[in-house]
Amino acid sequence: MEGGVGSEGILVKVGSRFGKRYGSGRPWVDIEEVCLELVGLRPRVIRGNGSEIIALSKASVGATEVVDSSHESMDAMEAAKTLAQSSGSIIAVSGAVDIITYGHQVVGAHNGVPMMQKITATGCAVTALIAAFVAVDPLHALEATASAMSIFGIAGEMGTDMANGPASLRMHFIDSLYNLDQASVSARLKITSL
């Protein structure tokens, strides 16, 4: 799970291993406790996949479980709304339909392609883009988050048009993101109320 904190655009990457402890010669760190402490700081946006958001929502009310990535974004809609209401943060759930909510209003960004899941670090990259968009427009953080997720997906769609597989998609995705223009975004943008 990653969180873009406040209008400063800080990105904190903490991993997704709820229920596990990590050490390596240092005192053991309980990732779940770290995540809950970060949520307590009321970040502007919390982004994760469906399983991460479900686990974080449950952990925030005392339940724990090991996270995998088997849940789709739509499976996490109620957990996202609950977490948004309890944390005061906007919750962004990545998936086939990206879900963005502050607890009452829920929007979906319907851009992207399944092959993007085959590329390592797309979650980190979209979270960095969210942090940048929210830093530019902190008063409209929900809209900034939805726009960042949709634009990220648009670049994936455009990159897929030129790609032969995940390796070439990575290259074409980055080129597409770099070369995006207003006409491309306007023609492809798919954000709806859910």
Asked whether 191 and 109 are in contact (CB, 8 A), the reply is yes
| pLDDT value of position 66 | 47
Note the pLDDT tens digit of each residue in 13-72. 665 444 444 445 555 555 667 777 888 888 899 998 888 888 888 766 555 454 445 777
Contacts of 150 (CB under 8 A, 6+ apart): 98, 109, 110, 111, 189, 190, 191
Percent of the chain predicted with pLDDT > 90: 60
Percent of the chain predicted with pLDDT > 70: 77
| pLDDT value of position 131 | 92
Name the residue with higher pLDDT: 75 or 61.
75
